[in-house]
Chains A and B, each alone.
Chain A
Amino acid sequence: MMKVAVAGADDSAKERQASWSQIHGVEVAGHAQSLQELRCLLAEEEVELVEFAGTVEGTWVTHAARSGVNILLDEHAGMSDQQLVAAADLCEQNGCVMYLTDSLRFSPEYAQAREQVVSGAIGKPGVLRLRRGTHASADGCIFSSLGMREFDWLRWTFGEVERVQANKVAREVATGKLLQYALIILRMRDGAIAQVELSQAESSEHTFFELTGDAGMLLHDSRDSLPIRWSRGGTDRQAVAGQMEQGSHAGIDPLQKQREQLVRHLLGEAAAGMTVRDWLLAKEIAQAASESAKAGKPVSLAKGEVAQ
């Protein structure tokens, strides 16, 4: 049995524990709610992986990394980029790996699309259009806050990026929040041309992709993928929309899919999910987009490093 622990004081910890307990071949070793409890747990049990729930102190992650335990972390988990990279390096030095959640790789529509592309369903990729729309936000750079998942999925599905060009606009709206919008063109190393549209000007979160190639096209719009539509007279429209979240009826939990694959990966039976290295490469695309938008010119990516 593979021993897994959950760490963190986040409300979701119990739910995460329950999710792990449903996976065949996994034993939940315990739930550490403090750094001291984590130290004891890792000392007493032969834990192979710790999933951190929500925001965590960097010291918790550092301790797990030093203990040679594989780590599953919500993207960032409140840590700075530098802390994340340092922790990933520490993992590498101690023979373990840090994996990140919040990836499109386990969302069923994106996983299916990637599988189809890889199997040749669209032939040679030509033009790829992706969109992520959400509300205005107080968050920072739109390329990082909204674009990372798309950038990672594009890399995972179509390979590395050669060149990035981006335009961005931002306005403070009446609510005091910052509304940002960006259009990014990515020239993939294999020649395909991608456009990622990131918008914080939407009334509800939605995603879209159109993947065209010389032998076909794959199309997805989250707004056209709701299996249930309902309307009730006199009901607030926004309240109803909130109950119709995308994916809520697909019967697939992306995070649980990732946990299952992680177990298979640690057993040597499957590829990894998104590692910190993948995250860093997606981050480089986001940084290149930001740089391009500022400089008003395209930015070339070379061997995983940002180079103008």
Chain B
Amino acid sequence: MKVGILSFAHMHAQSYAAHLRNHPDAELHAIWDDDPVRGEAMAAAYGAKYYRDLTAFLQSPIEAVVVCSENARHKAHVLACAKAKKHVLCEKPIATTVPDAEEMIRVCAAEAVILQVAYPVRFSPAIERVKELVQSGALGEILAINSTNHGQMPGGWFVEEEQSGGGAATDHIVHLMDLVRWMLADEVKSVYAELDTRFHQLAVEDCGMVSLVLESGVIVGIDPSWSRPKTFPTWGDVTMRIVGTQGTVEVDVFRQHLLHYNDQAGKLNQLPWAVDMDARLIADFVQAVKEKRTPSISGLDGLRTLEVVKAAYESNRLQQTVFIDRALLA
């Protein structure tokens, strides 16, 4: 299966490219990037053909596209792919506005192409096991989840609101929100958030704390902050504490690592050794395209998580609890 990558603006594109190259049934055939230097370099690195022209890229013999452009361009790029009948794996967040996400879902459905959103954490074996535990009832009735998706400040277009849609809240709430919805099969009823810019000189928020109540009454905390110091031994974390009437389970997705006390670099590093969740995400998407099946992570999943992000901004602005008004898709 020939696959293209549409833009390397997002750093995850390199990981996806490597896994597409290594996949036995996939071939990273084409790369489009509006930055020709970056595009040429990536094409050379991964043995693909570089296209500067988007129409030509979409006319190439690719069946599917991984969209890794800036968040604000997801809509235009996903619509272009859909109209060219290419299946899409779209980097998160699905879009920067709820109407954009709705339109992307509608157009992909109308064009009969797969729209999958890239939430790789679902493919962590530890997370899969925790989901089994939760759904088996081993923890009793679930009462609460407290979670973190921390990171270091990524810089670049991530901190330019017109391209990213927002800062740390846009970048990180969605991963945890997706895991919560996936594990509990529940939706968010209300959102309260305190967001701020306290770590860096930025025009977007770099930290915050979010508190949610789900329709079932389960309460959820999310810390999406870009609060990891420069000396932190890795990029960030994904952790969850899931509290039930019969126990609490804690999962630290990147806990399986070696600690490298590196005198040469003057730094402490975490060296992960568990299975690469990006590889499993790519394999899942390739399989979905091959089988023409419903994607395991849908556009609707992307939309619902984006709605929570937008409610968090609204709550922070109003300093009040905000009730989610979920979009009804035709």
Interface positions of A (Cβ within 8 A of B): 124-127, 129, 131, 133, 163, 165, 167-169, 171, 173, 179, 181, 183, 185, 187, 191-195, 197, 199, 201-203, 212-217, 296-298
Interface string of B233-250 (1 = CB under 8 A from A): 000000001011111100
- Asked whether, in the complex, the Cβ of B196 is within 8 Å of the Cβ of A185, the reply is no
Q: Which residues of A contact B207 (CB under 8 A)?
A: 126-127, 193, 212
B200 in contact (CB, < 8 A): yes
Known contacts A171-B245, A214-B198; decide if A197 and B217 are in contact (CB<8 Å). no
A127 touches B219 (CB 8 A): no
Provide the main secondary structure of the chain A interface: strand
Contact call A195/B228, Cβ cutoff below 8 A: no
| Cα-based distance from A129 to B218 in the complex (angstroms) | 20
Interfacial chain A residues near B143, Cβ < 8 Å: 169, 171, 179, 181, 201
A165 engages B321 (CB within 8 Å): yes
Residues of A within 8 A of B200 (CB): 214
Per the bound structure, the CA–CA distance linking A139 and B60 in Å amounts to: 68
Q: Which residues of B contact A (CB under 8 A)?
A: 141, 143-144, 146, 148, 190, 192, 194, 196, 198-200, 206-209, 211, 213, 217-219, 221, 223, 225, 227-229, 231-232, 241, 243-248, 319-321
* Contact across chains for A185 and B211 when beta carbons are under 8 A apart: yes
Output the least CB separation between B261 and chain A (Å).
17
Inter-chain contact B208/A193, CB cutoff 8 Å? yes
Report the bound CA distance from A185 to B193 in whole Å.
Answer: 9
Chain A residues with CB under 8 A of B141: 171
Beyond A173-B245, A185-B211, whether A216 also contacts B229 by CB under 8 A is yes
Is A183 touching B225 in the complex (CB atoms < 8 A)? no
Distance A171 CA – B141 CA, assembled complex (angstroms): 9
- State whether A195 touches B227 (Cβ < 8 A): no
- B198 and A167 contact, CB distance less than 8 A: no
Set of chain A residues within 8 Å of B192, measured between Cβ atoms = 165, 167, 185, 298
Complex CA distance for A127 and B231, rounded to whole angstroms: 17
Residues of B within 8 A of A201 (CB): 143, 243-245, 247-248
B190, B207, B218, B228 pick with most chain A CB within 10 angstroms? B207
Q: Are B245 and A193 in contact (CB under 8 A)?
A: no
Q: With A127-B207, A169-B143, A199-B248 in contact, is A183–B198 under 8 Å at CB? A: no
Q: Give bound CA distance, A171 to B140, whole Å.
A: 11
Extra inter-chain contacts (4) besides given A165-B192, A214-B199, CB under 8 Å: A129-B223, A133-B248, A163-B319, A191-B196
Q: What are some 5 contacts across the A-B interface (CB < 8 A)?
A: A126-B225, A191-B196, A201-B245, A202-B248, A212-B207
Q: Is the Cβ of B227 less than 8 Å from the Cβ of A167?
A: no
Instruction: Kindly provide the distance from the CB of B256 to the nearest chain A CB, expressed in whole angstroms.
Output: 17
- Give the Cβ gap from A72 to chain B, nearest Cβ, in Å: 35
Q: How near does chain B come to A217, taking the closest CB pair, in angstroms?
A: 5
**Given the complex, which residues of B lie within 8 Å of A133, measured CB to CB?**
248
Chain B residues whose C-beta falls within 8 Å of the C-beta of A127 in the assembled complex: 198, 207-209, 223, 225, 227
Nearest B residue (CB) for A133:
B248
Q: Are A193 and B199 in contact (CB under 8 A)?
A: no
Instruction: Flag if A126 contacts B198 (CB, 8 Å).
Output: yes
The chain B residue with its CB closest to the CB of A295 is B321
Closest to B146 in A: A197
Give the shortest distance, in Å, between A126 (CB) and chain B (any CB). Answer: 4
Given A169-B218, A296-B321, A298-B321, is A195 in contact with B223 using a C-beta cutoff of 8 Å? yes
Give Cα A213–Cα B229 distance, bound, in whole angstroms.
Answer: 8
Most buried by A among B146, B198, B228, B248: B198
CB pair A212 B319 closer than 8 Å: no
B contact residues around A194 at 8 Å (CB): 209
Give the CA-CA distance A117 to B319 in the complex, in Å: 27
Residue among B146, B209, B244 with most chain A CB within 10 A: B209
A297 touches B321 (CB 8 A): yes
Supposing A187-B194, A296-B190, A298-B319 touch, asked if A179 and B245 sit within 8 A by C-beta, the answer is yes
Chain B minimum-CB-distance residue to A300:
B319
Instruction: Name the distance in Å between B118's Cβ and chain A's nearest Cβ.
Output: 26
* Interchain CB contact (< 8 A) of B144 among A124, A169, A217: A169
* Interchain nearest-CB distance for B22 vs A (Å): 36
Contacts of B321 in A (CB 8 A): 165, 296-298
> B185 to nearest A CB, angstroms?
18
| Closest CB in chain B relative to A183 CB, distance in Å | 4
Chain B residues lying within 8 Å of A185, measured Cβ to Cβ, are 192, 194, 209, 211
B13 CB to nearest A CB, Å? 29
Q: Which residues of A contact B199 (CB under 8 A)?
A: 126, 212-214
Question: Which of A124, A169, A216 lies in contact with B198, CB distance below 8 A?
Answer: A124
Task: Name the contact of B225 in the complex, choosing from A181, A191, A202, A212 (C-beta under 8 A).
Answer: A212
What is the CB-to-nearest-CB distance from B231 to chain A, in angstroms, rounded to a whole number? 8
- What residues of chain A lie closer than 8 Å to B218, measured between beta carbons? 169
A168 CB to closest chain B CB, in angstroms?
A: 7
Smallest CB gap from B213: residue in A:
A167
Assembled-state Cα–Cα distance A70/B206 (Å): 47
